[in-house]
Amino acid sequence: MKDFDFSISPKEIVLKKNELRKSISKKVIEEAEKILKNQVPDTHYSLFRLFHITGKRAEYQKPYHEKRKNLVFLAMASYLTGEQKYLLKLQDYIWDICNEPLWSMPAHLPEKVHFQHTYIDLGASQTAAKLAEILVLLEDRLEENIKSRIRYELERRIFVPFYQHPEDYWWSKAYYSNWCAVCCGNIGIAAFLAGRDGIYFEKIVNHCIDAIRRYFDNFDSDGGWVEGISYWNYGVTHAVRFADALYRATDGKINLFDHPKLQLAGFFPLHCFLPPGSFVNFGDAYSRTQLNRETIFLLAKHTKLGKQIAWLLKHIDLRDFEDIIALREIKIPRPEIPERTFIHFKDIDWVITRKGWNDKNGPVLAVKAGNNGEPHNQVDVGQFIFHVFGEDFLCDRGAGQYSKDYFSAKRYESPFCSAEGHSLIFIDGKSQGIGKEYSGKIIEASHSISQDIISIDMTDAYPQGLVRKIVRTLKFSKKQKYGTLLLEDLVQTDKERNIETRLQYNGECKKLDRSHFIIKGKNGKIAINILKPEKFSVSPGAFRNLYTLSDDTIDIQFLKITTKSTETKFLIEMVPIR
């Protein structure tokens, strides 16, 4: 770091004059006016203790996050208008946050907190970056006590402990996890803005640069991320903000955007996009994930996929106003429709293919292999999504409601995470094992104008002795306007067993006869025709009123198609009907 002259001031890193987006001023001021009418949300101890009593996160995290969201709106309103009322309320928020005994969330803390230890988690690092941005943005207007308090808390809670003992924080070298990107990215930003004079500055920034580079190293060779779209969005957002701050601080001399895998990272949200406004949601992902605006704009500006990312921006709703960077105007290239309709993310072993990009009702097929010990793992080797008419007819339900049990040994009691909540194969009622050693491999991923074929060898995903061989093949025909999908499951066992293939669906299921079913959605239908085996039975199943990550309730519905044999082939045709 000594080789670089930091001629760019901290304030210039946050934003430059004449880069204000007038279009957001109205929204910011409207929100700030609402905030003025209410007290600072209370994160008192009665809420803090509830996680370890009930296992639920929301009681404490809701006011915790609301407090920090309001902080940003008040800071932007203060900057945009210069009005004292917003500044005074902002200072109340800053004072209150600085008075919190811990910036970490209860779910990330031991039940018995050791106050002599400094805890840094996702929330603490993000809080640090927000306060540092506000300090720089409004330094000439904030009262001296507030500025001194921010600097004191940043040093006490973040800079000094991370400088002295980075090894105390598991995420500091967990390059495979979104935690590494979020924590290191935010600490690096805070150091640039508010820690340049500290003895810790050089060591912290060098550590963060190394960590973010290694985080990018863990991306798929085509930009995919094993944790899924929600955690791609979360991790990349904070890594890219750090890369942007570094680029601006060094006037482009240090450019993490040059990382070859970051240059391709835009392929992941692009190909995960399911029109009109959702995403492939394998793992603990939310299908309605809103990508962060500034993240996508920065990728469009700095990577070679900029024109295709700009095309995606025209088709999705974005999450905005999360940080001060929202005030900056980021220029991006003109949009260009993507060329590739088929992609195999080989390192995470996902395939996503579609008939085309122009028809928002057109069919999309997503398939995953991987293993059952991935970060934010679900038991789902061989899971697939068939999306058409703007709906996931054959679906993945994504993440369940986060709780203490959800991230404990009880995780796989949740249908969201277990084999029971996926379109998998069951042998005598048993399915895949849990752990990295239980894995599958895409052994064919062929693509042509008329048909794509994806075959997965799922044998190793099952406990030894349960099966001899399981191969799942999906044939995606694009000859028809809305495509067709043919599912072939070949199962071999060492003795006669009950063999079941399960189809998890979204919509209303109607039985026409023994082998024909209709799944009715909001905008169309899917005809399901069971062609093989000759002898089988079909029974419906469901898990009712399950809480999702977004605190909605849903049902997980499925058809169980069962036969008894030592070797069987299921052949099931799925035909969209407009």
Chain segment 151-164, per-residue pLDDT in tens: 999 999 999 999 99
Global pTM value: 0.96
Mark the ranges of the chain whose per-residue pLDDT is less than 50: 2
Residues 183, 210 within the same domain: yes
Residues 94, 210 within the same domain: yes
pLDDT of residue 7: 53
Residues 525, 385 within the same domain: yes
CA 393/CA 385 separation, integer angstroms: 8
327, 361, 383: which is the final residue of a domain? 327
Residue 433 lies in a domain: yes
pLDDT of residue 14: 67
CA 85/CA 195 separation, integer angstroms: 29
282, 304, 327: which is the final residue of a domain? 327
State the DSSP string of 304-357: TTHHHHHHHHTTS-EE--SSGGGGB----PPP------EEEETTTTEEEEES-S
Here the tokens at position 262 are 């970051």
Identify the CATH number of the domain in which residue 156 sits: 1.50.10.100
pLDDT of residue 479: 95
Nearest to 157 by CA among 245, 237, 92, 97: 97
Identify the CATH number of the domain in which residue 458 sits: 2.70.98.70
pLDDT of residue 322: 72
Range of the domain at 528: 342-577
Residues 360, 471 within the same domain: yes
Residues 305, 369 within the same domain: no
Chain segment 14-62, per-residue pLDDT in tens: 665 555 556 678 889 999 999 999 999 999 999 999 999 999 999 999 9
Here the tokens at position 526 are 């899917």
Residue 60 lies in a domain: yes
The Cβ-side half-sphere exposure at 140, using a 13 Å CA radius, reads: 4
